[in-house]
Structure 1
């Protein structure tokens, strides 16, 4: 068995691997960039090595630095996690050439499945059904247009080296094909250094179903059943579950057998996922499910498979990499209950899913139900340099509805501040009638996502309970709990005025501000006027930072008259510049912005007093 392991990754997956390695008695080594110096995976590992600046291309994507770190610490093996270098065949070979154990598939398997067109041809030869389409070498635009017409619109153009929705375009008719092709090729070349594309039939009612496979060095390959990842936003998975809704035993048997054939065709070793697309217009049928691609690594959504099978897939990875045979045979593996996973992102759905960065002053996830896999902690910083996923919430139940209810409860009990999350969006997705019925296709969020992404609002009861903690008892004289009359007072909810109903005696020690946490969302409630003018709605002249960022320019001075629409200052956030302007004619009564200063979301940057 491997005695020491370096994890060539960060965040949630690094912590996940460390947890299993520790249980197996394996010493762990973490690598980290400047941005991750205080990260959770660094705190949990037995030994750590700094590998460079914050940008991934200068740290986590530099294979030579990672191999050097393994050598320097005496690590025997390298686990790549997912993302970064996990599907880089050259890195895998370099690890082995350095005399280290690569916890992953053979480089030849990674190469064979790395290009979508070659992989589809290989699968077709192995008897695995593939989506109708063209995947040849001829990239002449006129020829590709002819192929698209022969396949029949709508079609999907896909970069052969693509992933994550990049280099992919749906085309509804011949008139749009040339522009879509050119755009797809430009994006593919920029993202992957390869402009080649394939064309395949676009499925009108698509479901994304994948099968977990696992192979060892003794020639054994098994499947661990299927997962459904159909709930997606712009080709990115949002909620995953296992097993797939509506999957009967006969279809499951044929699908999983095809996945095993696919893995055998590339002599697969380790954890892998065979991804299929299903035409669900007439339910799930084996003759309407086709191979899409293979991911030659551990998947983000692997916990749902672990929950229904009772298998620790990371433990299997480490045992197989150590030369052991698979711990279980196919006949030993069964499905128990149902599991669902939601990806909790640091992002603001109401602002177009803009990533949200900054300190996690409040980070509370449920610890009494379900499973939480995370790579951050309260007090940590969400960096703009990496993927904004901060946690995965996983629920298991005796059936699908039990798992769905538990996952919804977990999300409702989550509270994160001041970083925004997609928790409320996920709750609405779980409650969508089509999801409840198990009738999900990959276009659901595209059709109904606007309502799911709308900014949540706290209930009147939640506002009242928080407000009463800020009301001095002296101001409530003669006011009795449960009295028939109800009095209201103005407050600021995230900088915007709200009138809140008050009742009860108030408090002897009023709080200056309160966090209102409800249904996965968090708001800050403050009194309407705070000592020193620390608050105010935009309509009253308060200029608040819309997100964490850096002040790069201040165009006005305190006491200076300004006109409505005049630029006051410029904020740089998420590599974009945002101009903040005067809401009306007036005078700069207060200015708290200095060029070069870092500011947090909702910080009061300036206050304008109306003229006259």
Structure 2
């Protein structure tokens, strides 16, 4: 609970600990308010990560002190390296319960785990279950088992889980309620049943398998098929298997591919979430073939294998599992938007939207609020600025948002939502389509709760009310008092919010298992950090406690959030959060730099840009091209050549010029070295400086004083002088003084020499003494100016790299869509640039190494043949093995053709490390390695080309 007014937010602790919290409201409120006390609830928390810590904090604030937590042996807690942050707070060992794994590896283990959880709850006096946003939070079977055991599930009930949690049933419900859905097929299991037994053979199938099915109660063949399938699931038998479903989907895919040969399609296992259990089927016209029929056949042939991959990834390929897989048209230009929905089973309402389009591999990266209030303000700003194209797009977005909110509430009522859920949609132009409803709280729920609160008002007294800011608290209230809660109104809190998911990934956003966090800077004002308490210091010693990222479940480390007066302000605050965040450790890779570059790309282009879900990979490719070009530059040679030219131009003053250039060398080159080493930082820097230069006669010309650019660069890179920092991480003290003197010189000069631009200032400085200066004074000013500008031409290097690689061609159009150059969408270039960003381990010519750590699998699914065996010949692009990293299954294809001589990993499920040899091979062709001489010649040629663009 929160008061009617509050500070915007500083860090997570201040955000949660509002002056008036649930306990205070219960103690001081009216009898009606006090009737919603939740202290009788005794929840067992069966989730992990930031949501577990958040639930603990919220429950404490609500006066709920008898709660317990479930720890998996595979959780990201390795006691020898780190004390679980939760255990620093929950010190009662009787309230900490351990299981081997949260869900189990298959259906049988999952059933065992459900019984274990119920037993733990019953034995230890818990009366409710909080499942957060992972594992079994959307498992209808589990929720039903909890309800039957008399436990209160803090989340949507089993009816809602069944009606909306499974993608096929959700689409059927959406169609019945008039909600727009993505075109596709959602009854693959029924089609497989009809193909195998015929519509007239369903009763015989039921009899042969001893299944009791009331066919007479079914309205049509589809209902008969669904009833038969449901009975088979309950009995734990398969009347159809994954191969049957794959064949049925292949038939449907052939039809869809023929109708839309240029479209890609998406296969989705019905129980999937977070991008898991989904695969893309490439368009028919992406295959070679003389006729459309040939191309369709080649594309459709991939469907059975993709179907198995979807099921294997979710571990729903066991006997008796519901193996339904949807196939939908993949709208490549789609924007992913979702609506926060809250209900009590009778009423249902929405709390605005979130744009989650910035994602990769179906994993969200950056999420931003979308609200009616924010859009209306942006519309007025665009109208005042005369930006007609932008205005029209924003007005369309407002119409779409209002439609999605209406449909979200309608769908929530249809499925009797009695907690918190998310209505997920894709937006394509002026159309939107319902994808699925997540019957749980979302990872990004804070994006919404930072913008809106819920106001519950006494139906009999309008002056009697209370406010809820936390969606976790709302879930608890709905679980404890749902039917009595009146429909609330929503109240605006902040105008805009944004969340960056800090993940354990490398520069190419590939999962990076493991790593030890040894230090993490404290949150700053305006930062909300949900990190499971990792960054909290030891309360007794104040020392940061090391934390090991085991990587058994997902790659998320933390959720970083902030708010602002509008989207631009919010992104600026997020940029500052990312700029000053320092995260260090052993074998630690994160996407911190990626986020900093991405946020600044939008700040430098247009903060209202409407990216689609296909934006990130081309963006990464553009960043990879920057890195590739940077690798070709010899910075030391470039600066030395620049110095030689300036010394030669100075004539008799050459010695003095040489001394100045030598003094300034590290001042100028150290930030450039960091930009060239960290391409994501370079991408952000370039985006923010795009308006600071232009091209004149083929030369890069600075419109902004390079001294100012240099000072901003040190700040951008968080290299400002600070006595507490290691020297390697900041500007050196002597260089800081030189730069400060230069900045002060131009600031003072600006007060005495009026000039509207740097060009105009340079023109004044090239002439005679203006009023107020003697000739001698003016000569000193001119000399100081020349000295401060000496060597600054080297700052053009990142700009040159951007121009050479076409980085600025990736840009925002006037209608807020993003122009993506066609070359950035080429899969071969994308793969090549991923390797530039993260070079693969150096292998001998006769071996293949693991590109990352993870779990090795030699085959697509248990019982199937391995991809390769000793003696197998493989071609480039063919699958060699699967590696599971952070619960994602990645099929690894051969980089070249060859023959397997020896397989070095014998057992599936073996944990492998990055760079570990997996196969001994004999390549078809000898791999040519570039000689050191050729590398040096290439770098010198590229460096000379850069020097030719400078204005010297």
TM-score (normalised: structure 1): 0.72
Shift of 1:134: 2.6
2:96 alignment counterpart: 49
Counterparts in 2 of 1:210-221, with a 5 A limit?
Answer: 210-217=338-345, 219-221=346-348
Q: 2:729 aligns with which of 491, 499, 516?
A: 516
- The number of equivalent residue pairs is 496
Change (3 A) 1:332 1:238: closer
Change (3 A) 1:46 1:65: farther
2:688 alignment counterpart: none
1:164 alignment counterpart: 274
Give the Cα separation in 2 of the matches to 1:144 and 1:451.
Answer: 33
Give the Cα separation in 2 of the matches to 1:10 and 1:251.
Answer: 35
Q: 1:371 aligns with which of 522, 528, 552?
A: 528
**Residues 1:420 and 2:589 aligned together:** yes
2:403 alignment counterpart: 254
Shift of 1:366: 2.1
Change (3 A) 1:152 1:331: farther
Shift of 1:67: 2.3
Shift of 1:328: 6.9
What is the DSSP-based 3-state SS (H/G/I as helix, E as strand, rest coil) of the residue aligned with 2:104?
A: helix
Change (3 A) 1:164 1:90: same
Change (3 A) 1:487 1:371: closer
1:393 alignment counterpart: 560
Worse overlay, 411-420 or 121-130: 411-420
Does the 8 Å CA contact 2:521/2:583 hold for their aligned counterparts? yes
Does the 8 Å CA contact 1:132/1:151 hold for their aligned counterparts? no
Structure 2: any 5+ residue segments left out of the alignment? 1-37, 193-247, 285-295, 376-393, 454-468, 536-544, 636-659, 678-723, 732-840, 843-849, 856-903, 918-928, 930-952
1:187 alignment counterpart: 309
1:575 alignment counterpart: 912
2:599 alignment counterpart: 430
1:441 alignment counterpart: 612
What is the DSSP-based 3-state SS (H/G/I as helix, E as strand, rest coil) of the residue aligned with 1:157?
A: strand
Does the 8 Å CA contact 2:335/2:611 hold for their aligned counterparts? yes
Deviations 1:494-534 (A, max 9, x none): 9xx9xxxxxxxxxxxxx9x877389xxxxxxxxxxxxxxxx
1:202 alignment counterpart: 330
Change (3 A) 1:485 1:517: closer
Shift of 1:64: 2.5
Q: 2:161 aligns with which of 86, 110, 125?
A: 110
Q: 1:230 aligns with which of 346, 357, 363?
A: 357
2:448 alignment counterpart: 305
Does the 8 Å CA contact 1:153/1:202 hold for their aligned counterparts? no
Change (3 A) 1:329 1:196: closer
**Residues 1:315 and 2:466 aligned together:** no
What is the DSSP-based 3-state SS (H/G/I as helix, E as strand, rest coil) of the residue aligned with 2:123?
A: helix
1:6 alignment counterpart: 44
Shift of 1:548: 9.1
Give the Cα separation in 2 of the matches to 1:546 and 1:295.
Answer: 33
Shift of 1:484: 6.5
What is the DSSP-based 3-state SS (H/G/I as helix, E as strand, rest coil) of the residue aligned with 1:274?
A: strand
**Residues 1:355 and 2:512 aligned together:** yes
**Residues 1:101 and 2:152 aligned together:** yes
Give the Cα separation in 2 of the matches to 1:312 and 1:303.
Answer: 8
Structure 1: any 5+ residue segments left out of the alignment? 461-481, 498-510, 519-537, 540-544, 551-568, 584-612
Give the Cα separation in 2 of the matches to 1:417 and 1:55.
Answer: 29
Shift of 1:156: 1.5
Worse overlay, 98-107 or 111-120: 111-120
Deviations 1:325-351 (A, max 9, x none): 58674544447401100100122124x
Give the Cα separation in 2 of the matches to 1:326 and 1:392.
Answer: 34
Does the 8 Å CA contact 1:12/1:374 hold for their aligned counterparts? yes
Deviations 1:215-260 (A, max 9, x none): 115x121111111111111111111111167365443322111011
2:436 alignment counterpart: 293
Does the 8 Å CA contact 1:358/1:548 hold for their aligned counterparts? no
Does the 8 Å CA contact 1:216/1:320 hold for their aligned counterparts? yes
Give the Cα separation in 2 of the matches to 1:153 and 1:406.
Answer: 41
Change (3 A) 1:232 1:365: farther
Shift of 1:315: 0.5
**Residues 1:25 and 2:71 aligned together:** no
Q: 1:485 aligns with which of 644, 659, 663?
A: 663
Deviations 1:285-309 (A, max 9, x none): 3xx1110001000000100000000
Deviations 1:41-87 (A, max 9, x none): 23333643232336863899922332222223322211001111101
Does the 8 Å CA contact 2:513/2:854 hold for their aligned counterparts? no
Structure with higher Rg: it is 2
More relative contact order in 1 or in 2 (CA 8 Å, sep 6+)?
Answer: 2
2:946 alignment counterpart: none
What is the DSSP-based 3-state SS (H/G/I as helix, E as strand, rest coil) of the residue aligned with 1:269?
A: coil
Give the Cα separation in 1 of the matches to 2:183 and 2:257.
Answer: 11
Worse overlay, 300-309 or 108-117: 108-117
Does the 8 Å CA contact 1:160/1:197 hold for their aligned counterparts? yes
Counterparts in 2 of 1:260-279, with a 5 A limit?
Answer: 260-279=409-428
Shift of 1:100: 1.6
Give the Cα separation in 2 of the matches to 1:71 and 1:427.
Answer: 47
Shift of 1:117: 2.4
Worse overlay, 427-436 or 227-236: 427-436
- Bigger fraction of residues in strand: 1
Give the Cα separation in 2 of the matches to 1:56 and 1:117.
Answer: 22
Q: 2:497 aligns with which of 323, 339, 344?
A: 339
Deviations 1:172-219 (A, max 9, x none): 2225431331232111231232554333223232001111111115x1
Does the 8 Å CA contact 1:224/1:305 hold for their aligned counterparts? yes
Worse overlay, 305-314 or 93-102: 93-102
Does the 8 Å CA contact 1:185/1:195 hold for their aligned counterparts? no
TM-score (normalised: structure 2): 0.47
Give the Cα separation in 1 of the matches to 2:428 and 2:558.
Answer: 31
Give the Cα separation in 2 of the matches to 1:359 and 1:278.
Answer: 40
**Residues 1:70 and 2:125 aligned together:** no
Give the Cα separation in 2 of the matches to 1:487 and 1:443.
Answer: 41
Does the 8 Å CA contact 1:11/1:40 hold for their aligned counterparts? no
- Bigger fraction of residues in helix: 2
2:85 alignment counterpart: 40
